[in-house]
Structure formats: C-alpha cells, structure tokens
Amino acid sequence: MPTHTTAQATVESLLAHGIGKVYAVPGVHNDPLFDAFYHVRDRLRVIHARTEQGAAYMALGAALASGEPQVFSVVPGPGLLNASTALLTAHAMSAPVVGLIGQIPNDSIDRGLGHLHELHDQLGLARHIVKHARRIRAPFEAPAAIAEAIAIALSGRRGPVMVECAMDMWNRSGPVGEPEVRAPLRPPIDRAAVAKAAALLAGSKRPLIVVGGGAKDASAEVIALAERLEAPVFSFRAGHDVVPTAHRLAMNFPVGRRLWADADVVLGIGSRMLLQQEMWGTDDDLAIIRIDIDPDAPARLRPPAVAVVGDAADALRELLQVLPAAAGGHAARASREPELRAHRAWLADRLATLQPQMDFLRAIRAALPDDGIFVEDVTQMGFAGRLAFPVTRARTYLSAGSQDNLGWAYATALGAKAAQPHRAVVAVCGDGGFMYHAMELATAVHHGIAAVAVVFDNGCFGNVKLLQEQQWGGRYIANELSNPDFVQLAHSFGVAAFRATTPPELERALREALALGKPALVHVPCGEMSSPWDMILMPRVRGAGRGS
C-alpha cells in the first residue's frame, strides 16, 4: 500500500467521488488538510468564504442546485456551530452536504483541558442535526470514512453528514488503500403496495397529487402519472418546481386546498404533507397514498391507506406500469380543464391583491432565463413566490423548507451559481435577511461568482411588523432597521449595483445585472406589502371542526 497522510488520503477520496469544489474557511486545526488541497489545486478548487455559515450555505446551495453531494470544511467548536444552521437546513431540505470538520489534538478530545475551539462531544452534538457523524482515527480509515459518509448522504432520504479529524491526525502518515466509492442504497419497491396504490387511484373519481422536495428528480414521472389520472398537482415550498407552472394540471397551493376539500384519493410524493393533514384536515372519505423514501415518514400524523417506500422516480415508474391493468382498460378520463380553469381564475383574482409583490415577481420572471435559479429568502417576496412565481423545471426554485431560516438566501445563491456557472442565479432578499451575509459580497468578487442579489428594502423586518400589526394590536417592537445605502455598500466591495423603484425598472436593472456576468446587486426601496398569510395559513376543510 502507498503511504499517505490522513489529509492526502481524504483529498484523494473526495476526488474519487467527483468532488471538484470545497467551500471553506481555513484555520489552524485543518492546516494539513488545506496543504493537501494546495497540491491538487488543478483538480479541486477551494472557495473560501468570509464566515463558516456562509461556506456551509454555499455547499447547501450547490447541493440543491445540482442534486449532487457537496463539501465544506471548517474548524471545530465555533466553526462547526457557525455552520450548524446550514446543516440543519440541509437536513430539512434532504440535501447531501458533507462537512469536513477539524478537532483538537486527538489525546485531548473531551477531556475539558481548554484547548482552542474545544467543544465537548462535538460528534454527539452534530448527530442531532446530521444523518451520520464519525471521526477519522488513522490514515487508513480516511478512504472508508469518506466513502461511507457520501454513501449515507445519498442513501434513503438524503441529508447532511459530517466527518471530523483531530488536528494532529491530519498530518499523520501511514499505509492507505485505494480510494473507494460505495453505491448509495436504494430501497426495493414493494410491488404489492404499488398494486394496492394503483387500484385506489384507478378507482378514484377526484384524485389529487401533492409533491414535495423528494419529487424533484421525478418530474417526468409525476407529469406522466398526473396526465394518466387527470389529477391536478400542487406543492408549497420545496416541491414548487417539480411540475412546470404552465402545465395544464399544475396548481398553486391555495387551489390545492380547494381541491383537497372534495378529493377522494390523494397521492403524496416526497412530501411530509404537514400543512395539508394538520391544518386542512382529513376524514374517512379521503384515502391517502404516500410515496416516500423515508420508511418512518408515511405514518406520521395519520397512517395512510397505502405506503410505498422508495425513491420517487422508481416508485412512480412501477406505478405507471401497473396502473393500466388496475384500470381494467377503461377509456381515458374526462378532462378536468373547465373545473381547473375556474380555480385558476379564482386564484388570479386573489393574487391580484398581493401587491406590490406580484408585479415585482413578474419583473423578475421576465428578466430571468427559463433555466435560471430563483433563491427565495424568508421575506414577504419569498412568501409570495411560493404562491405565484412561475417555474419551468426542477431545481430552479430553492427554498429553505421547514426551517425557513432568515438570511440563508445570498450565500446559498453563491453556492448554486458556483455549482451551475452556466445558469443565471438570483437571490431575492429582504433588507433584514440580506445583511446576514452581506460580507459574502467579498466572496463573490474574490471568486468571480456572478450571482445577483435583489434586495427589497422597507427598513424593517417586514413580516415581523406585519404580524405585530395583525395579531398584536399594532404593538410594534424590535422590527425597525437602520440600513446602509445598499448601492454604495455593493460598490465598496467592487460589486456592480443598481437601484430600481418600480417593477419595470427592476426588470431592466436585473436584465443588465445578469448580462454583466459578474457579481451584482439590485436595490429595491419599497414600502409596505400586502399580507400573503390568508393564502398560506388556511382553515380546515375536512373532518372535525371543518371551516370555510
């Protein structure tokens, strides 16, 4: 066996898995690892950020945009804790993010000696927010540790993983085997469950499909099934881009609730279905079928009529094969277009009141190419985007999912752009959220990452202020913000900047910003925005306590 340091063996293992970028903030605990990166800089690019959180969010954005595993590296203790928000978001979004985390000297771990960046039971802490965490204890373990981590990140419900290594172990030498690559586990599809699901769907009169982030790589199969069943498809955040908006069966979230009220069979694909089951309600007249790669997911909240455990695309292909026989050769279903047209008209009237968000969203859509990536921050513009931003293909609408953490969007957009440099990437932020990672403008300039930040500035945490007005009698507190001049701030970093006050100005500015092929920012001063919450937090329509 050849002799390598642990750091060298780790880097060669990353390369064997096709990892071409590492998002990072260096530090003394990882110095040998970064020296190993230096020696393969023609094959692997290190993109260093200004904060550990920014580096981890960049890896997350790259994973969400590409669907492939992405790596970040930071120091232990405060470095890991700074990155933990992104790891938690990666867990919520089922994103295969791999953290390479340093450690204090091996013989001092968990002894409370007061070493720099010491964190008691760092692995134990990490296991609360990642699928898998382990330590490399010797050079020969590095290939297996990386192979295991990446395979677990990609197996079953995807998610983040972590590998740590003590600072004195990185540079230790020893015999090391060849890098290994392990195939991720794909659950076999239970054909009996598929047959039962097919029978329910074939006999349904008013089927409905709900898609979540677990369906992102099954768009073609979802569309084929929807057309076979004449079943409308809707989503909320993570699944917003599974079916193109222009498809005749694609419905928005508020319409999904109207259809939920009298659906007889609902098929949930890669979605937790929390809002639907907990808020909209269920009853004995509604049969729910769940397709999910997580075997524990289907039975949460309410045991389904049928649970099919497996990859969404695999399960749907099986279902499409079985469905004709289950339907008994019946003729194609009658079109539901008249009904759906009425629902779309109802929604258009509702959305027309959501201003100025709708006009600004139209401006962004007009300027963004069809394959451009829209990254929503937790902002009033983002909430409106979930309801109404048109999409054309999967992995072009990135949301923070159930974590919905303020400030994630800009650093995430940088990672998305680094992973997909040929595609336009726009982060839609509020003034509050953008300031979480405004320093990463420097990262964009340094590494030439041409993502565009669109910053809507109303001088406050807008959603906080709105809720204080609507639910707390106008008792405003801790929502006003003192902001910089965002155009001058961007210029100070060497970033191209524009100001737009109207939707037409925003469209023109965004077109110009994207055409530059350089980091850019568009500042949009704005006032109060209409509340979207009556189209998101909607009352029960089924079961006990049925509302209106």
Helices then strands, counting H and E runs in the chain, come out as: 20, 19
3 CB neighbour count, 10 Å cutoff: 11
- Report the pLDDT value the prediction gives residue 327, as an integer from 0 to 100: 67
d(CA 77, CA 14): 23
Query: One-letter amino acid identity for 22?
Result: V
Are 533 and 384 contacting, i.e. CB atoms less than 8 angstroms apart? Answer: no
Nearest to 72 by CA among 56, 84, 85: 56
Asked if pLDDT for residue 414 goes beyond 50, the answer is yes
| Confidence band for 466, pLDDT divided at 50, 70 and 90 | confident
- Report the pLDDT value the prediction gives residue 331, as an integer from 0 to 100: 59
Mean pLDDT in the chain?
95
Comparing 76 with 544, the larger pLDDT belongs to 76
d(CA 347, CA 20): 44
Are 373 and 36 contacting, i.e. CB atoms less than 8 angstroms apart? Answer: no
Highest mean pLDDT among 40-49, 328-337, 398-407, 453-462: 40-49
Q: Is 53 exposed, middle or buried (0-12, 13-18, 19+ CB in 10 A)?
A: buried
- Report the pLDDT value the prediction gives residue 374, as an integer from 0 to 100: 98
Report CA torsion sign: 488, 361, 409, 476. Answer: positive
Asked if pLDDT for residue 326 goes beyond 80, the answer is no
Give the CA count within 13 Å in the CB-facing half-sphere of 405: 19
- Report the pLDDT value the prediction gives residue 375, as an integer from 0 to 100: 98
Asked if pLDDT for residue 222 goes beyond 50, the answer is yes
The mean pLDDT value for 233-255 works out to: 96
d(CA 476, CA 459): 14
| Confidence band for 548, pLDDT divided at 50, 70 and 90 | very low
- Paired residues of 453 in beta bridges: 427, 521
Torsion from C-alpha of 126, 128, 130, 133, nearest 10 degrees: 50
Are 117 and 78 contacting, i.e. CB atoms less than 8 angstroms apart? Answer: yes
d(CA 459, CA 454): 15
Lowest-confidence segment of 28-37, 459-468, 493-502 by average pLDDT: 459-468
- Written as one string, the DSSP assignment of 527-546 is ------GGGTSPPP-SSTT-
Which CA distances in Å does 46 have to 246, 414, 540? 39, 14, 50
> Phi, psi at residue 418, to the nearest 5°?
-65, -35
Contacts of 284 (CB under 8 A, 6+ apart): none
Comparing 359 with 324, the larger pLDDT belongs to 359
